[in-house]
């Protein structure tokens, strides 16, 4: 039988690569194929290439990072009109890179992905930052005298560390102290996992457990060594009354993490599910 989801296998192969070899845009577009199976990934990669070409056409050579940031910002936010989608923040289309490129709206992590990919192509050394509650981009070049953070959700605004501290204070009302780790570079695999978690939570809020399960499968593909991903897939199988698959995943989880803090609760759930399997079959 042919593979009905070949992009899932392709996604697993990409995220298994060393982090520096992962093509963030390609992997993000393979995630989008969960919703758009006929998506032409190459067409969207070419579109990002053309955006970078448009930036390069404006460069005279020898630009520093401030000038490069200004050129990327001008193209994305002034010329092309990319913006943060504040009105429909939890629309799943904000998380699919093809939709973000088509509609030119997104959430912090998807707009940051566009920014990183265009920036990389024009020599701007940037990486993602899993800042709490609001994904950012960090400049990684040596000539930066201090932390330089870029906020693509807010038209490429430059942020200092002190401004990020104030954001943490506002977000958590002073209950969570700022830590330097909040500004740590996010590896590409971490960015993809955060994208997937965002999507899964959106679908769970909508009680769309079929779509949530497909996204959870990609999370398992991204981190097959993480037992919790298999446990979460099992719980979604249970939601869909696929009790045989649910029991299998929960058994796998308990074999891998028999002393986990939730192991007893999972064993209890597994016993209840196992009683249902013969009935459902």
Residue 136 phi/psi, 5-degree rounding, is: -130, 175
C-alpha distances out from residue 60 to 49, 64, 102, 111, Å: 19, 11, 29, 26
Report, as ranges of residue numbers, the positions in the chain whose pLDDT lies below 70.
1-4, 142-146, 278-281
Specify the pLDDT at position 62: 79
Q: Phi/psi at 105 (nearest 5 deg)?
A: -135, 155
Position 2 scores a pLDDT of 42
Q: How high is the pLDDT of residue 281?
A: 47
pLDDT at 4: 64
Closest CA to 159 of 177, 184, 133, 139: 139
Give residue 144's pLDDT. 56
Q: In which residue are the tokens 């649910």 written?
A: 246
Alpha helices in 122-185 (DSSP H): 161-172
pLDDT of residue 7: 77
């Amino acid at each position: 039988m042919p593979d009905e989801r070949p992009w899932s296998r392709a996604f697993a192969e990409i995220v298994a690569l060393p982090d520096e070899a992962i093509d963030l845009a390609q992997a993000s577009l393979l995630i989008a194929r969960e919703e758009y199976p006929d998506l032409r990934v190459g067409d969207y990669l070419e579109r990002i290439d053309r955006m970078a070409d448009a930036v390069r056409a404006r460069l005279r050579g020898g630009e520093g990072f401030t000038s490069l940031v200004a050129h990327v910002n001008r193209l994305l936010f002034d010329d092309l009109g990319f913006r943060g989608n504040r009105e429909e923040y939890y629309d799943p289309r904000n998380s699919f890179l093809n939709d973000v490129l088509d509609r030119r709206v997104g959430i912090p992590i998807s707009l940051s992905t566009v920014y990183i990919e265009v920036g990389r192509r024009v020599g701007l050394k940037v990486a993602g930052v899993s800042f709490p509650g609001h994904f950012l981009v960090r400049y990684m070049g040596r000539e930066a005298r201090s932390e330089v953070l870029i906020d693509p959700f807010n038209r490429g605004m430059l942020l200092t560390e002190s401004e990020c501290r104030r954001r943490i204070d506002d977000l958590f009302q002073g209950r969570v102290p700022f830590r330097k780790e909040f500004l740590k570079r996010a590896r590409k695999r971490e960015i993809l996992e955060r994208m997937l978690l965002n999507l899964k939570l959106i679908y769970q809020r909508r009680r769309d457990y079929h779509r949530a399960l497909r996204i959870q499968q990609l999370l398992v593909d991204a981190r097959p060594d993480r037992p919790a991903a298999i446990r979460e897939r099992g719980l979604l199988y249970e939601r869909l009354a696929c009790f045989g698959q649910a029991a299998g995943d929960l058994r796998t989880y308990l074999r891998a993490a028999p002393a986990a803090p939730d192991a007893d609760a999972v064993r209890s759930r597994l016993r209840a599910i196992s009683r249902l399997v013969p009935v459902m079959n």
